[in-house]
Amino acid sequence: MWHGQFMMMPVLHIGGYRVAAIAARHGDAEILAEMLPQFNIECVRGAGAAGRMKERGGSYALRTAVKLLKGGATFSMTADVPPGPARRAGSGIVTIARLSGRPMLPLAVASSRFIALNSWSRMTINLPYSKIAFVIGEPIWVPDDADEETIERYRLEIETALNAVTERAYRIAGGNIKRATPRIVMEAAEGGAPLGWLLKAYRIGTSLMRPAAPLLLRLRERQGKENPNRSGERFGIASAARPDGPVMWLHAASVGETNAILPLIERLAASRDLNVVLTTGTMTSAGLAAQRLGAKAVHQYVPLDTPEYVRAFLDHWRPDLAVFTESEIWPNLIIETAERKIPLALVNGRMSGRSFDRWRRNSGFSRPLFSRFDIVLAQNEKLARMFTDLGARKVVAAGNLKIDAPPPPVDVGELERLRVALKGRPVLVAASTHEGEEDIVAAAHRQLARTVSGVCTIIAPRHPERGTAIAEHLKAHGYGVAQRSLGQLPGERTDIYIADTIGELGTLYALTAVAFIGGSLVERGGQNPIEAIGHGAAVLTGPHWSNFRDFYRALLRHKGAQQVANAAELAAAAAALIAGEAELQKMRAGAKTALQSLSGALDRTAEALAVFLPKPGAGVRRAS
């Protein structure tokens, strides 16, 4: 049965055969544990993990259920597992049916009068003086050799059957099924939660602010953050024609997110003969897209989040599927896309704990947005629960795409030029550094130079436009500095080489045995270490790596990375790795083991999105 719809179920047991039911181990389930024996029903304590790492007695309950069923008893359980998502059957019930050889039997009970509590499952209390209906569906047998794909098929079958018997029970009893239906299910049927006043105010406000948009863009152009030759794209005016055939639109924030989804673009475009439009918001990501997008893909700057600009963009491109990445939640982009019935997905989904708390406090703003996604593919189970709590209708923990992304490309010619210029000098690369870290790295270089003769440190700032300011600052502190954006190469007297160019991290990682990954010695949450590992570099990180928690936990657990806290520790760790080949190889092996334990996200993500893509030969989506 569905959770929350079981209050009258015990009266079905009229004796004469053995019945057991499952009840969770938490305090709220104590009332069930006390009540069930009054109906001659045994109580088995335990519950499924529902994606949690914590064992909640599910293994014990499964073993007990199989034993009881093989002994001739009936075992009763809810198909959906607290805390949800509601009305989504778990695979546990199918596994029990497979192992026991007994069928699943969908049951529902409804009454004409009831109280529906405002809980995740819409817990229903049936009231006296009601018309009551019990509906029993057909038995569903699961073969004992069912593989993972078959189990999923039967999971969907029991889910469909439970929805059917529940709907019939309420129809027979004359009860209002909407009152007993969980909010997340109602929102799915209606295409998302209704827009609250705060979201409506945002949409009106962004529309009224349109006259200021050109001024904002001109200011950003003067700061080097916008391409003046392509400003029309920010107003939804396309700079390229829409190709014939189906189009998939992917939106990524910047370089890191773009790198992560490039393999996904290649996979899906090749499998469906699909055209792709990729939108990003930064000039660095636009440069990367120009270098690495295939022939059937085009880059556009994402339109400003104003209803009119978004509509112009959608009118032109008419995408068949819209895919956002990581934490790119733009209200007007999401709402306008959903209103056109374009399937909407969020891939590689993540958010910080602080962001989650902020979204949860403003549920009238967040719920209408997250409930409009047809699917959210989160980086891990914890994040999947966060998205579910915020109203996402279907959430899957698919893993992190950055694990499966190939390492950034190497310019062989430039790599050789750098090697010739360095003349065999040992190199430490400090990649994706943020403001405040360059001074720490420079201090580490000074200490490292005392023990490692001729060492050269390369700093590749996260934001290359900071390169000149960094170079001038370090020169003022007595360092010999060369700057790549000026066409300079490191010379014999170069202490620190500023690599302030776009798309060259692969070349830099191929140049070094040791890489410090920035954003981690200051509280910025860290940057992606996988690209460095892909080129064989040993990774050093500061303590602040919350943005890549899964990566670093696995790497540190397998000794595939080393954490440092300051300049002295950075210098000591780099010196040990540069001088010790055995230690270097040990760290590389640990990193490889760690990444293997996390891989598979690309396959899972591509498979999940393929469901939403048009079949070959389908017509082009029309503007609406």
Over the stretch 532-566, which tens digit does the pLDDT of each residue have?
999 999 999 999 998 888 899 999 999 999 999 99
**pLDDT tens per residue across span 352-398:** 888 999 999 998 899 999 999 999 999 998 999 899 889 898 899 99
Q: Are residues 438 and 512 in the same domain?
A: yes
Choose the catalytic residue: 159, 257, 437, 438: 257
Q: Are residues 462 and 575 in the same domain?
A: yes
Q: Is 257 a catalytic residue?
A: yes
pLDDT at 246: 92
**pLDDT tens per residue across span 38-74:** 888 888 887 655 544 455 567 888 899 999 999 999 9
> What whole-number distance in Å separates Cα of residue 476 and Cα of residue 471?
9
Contact 397, 384 (CB under 8 A): yes
Q: Are residues 217 and 92 in the same domain?
A: no
Contact 527, 256 (CB under 8 A): yes
Identify residue 320 by its one-letter amino acid code: D
Q: Are residues 254 and 374 in the same domain?
A: yes
Q: Final residue of a domain: which of 132, 163, 189? A: 189
Indicate the pairing of strand 297-301 with strand 275-280. Answer: parallel
φ/ψ of residue 269, rounded to 5? -65, -40
Q: Final residue of a domain: which of 166, 189, 212? A: 189
530 in a structural domain: yes
Question: What is the CATH classification number for the domain harbouring 567?
Answer: 3.40.50.2000
Alpha carbon 233 to its chain's center: 27
Identify residue 584 by its one-letter amino acid code: L
pLDDT at 125: 95
DSSP 8-state class, residue 375: E
Domain that holds residue 475: 412-599
29 in a structural domain: yes
pLDDT at 53: 43
The H-or-E segment that residue 607 falls in is helix 601-610
Contact 98, 151 (CB under 8 A): yes
Q: What percent of the chain has pLDDT over 70?
A: 96
Q: Are residues 136 and 224 in the same domain?
A: no
Q: Are residues 367 and 219 in the same domain?
A: yes
Tell me: pLDDT of 454 over 80.
yes
pLDDT at 617: 60
615 in a structural domain: no
> What whole-number distance in Å separates Cα of residue 305 and Cα of residue 234?
9
Tell me: pLDDT of 223 over 70.
yes
Q: What percent of the chain has pLDDT over 90?
A: 71
Which one is predicted more confidently, 33 or 543?
A: 543
Which one is predicted more confidently, 605 or 287?
A: 605
CA distances from 243 to 230, 291, 302, 333, 336 (A): 19, 20, 18, 21, 22
Question: How confident is the model over 159-174, as a mean pLDDT?
Answer: 96
Contact 370, 394 (CB under 8 A): no
246 in a structural domain: yes
**pLDDT tens per residue across span 144-160:** 999 988 999 999 999 99
Q: Are residues 287 and 328 in the same domain?
A: yes
pLDDT at 295: 82
Instruction: Tabulate helix, strand, coil % of the chain (nearest 5).
Output: 45, 15, 40
404 in a structural domain: no
**pLDDT tens per residue across span 496-512:** 999 999 889 999 999 99
* Res. 255 pLDDT band, cuts 50 70 90: confident
For 613, the token pair is: 């893509």
Letter string b/e over residues 215-230, b meaning 16 or more CB atoms within 10 A of that residue's CB: eebeebeeeeebbeee
Q: Final residue of a domain: which of 160, 189, 218? A: 189
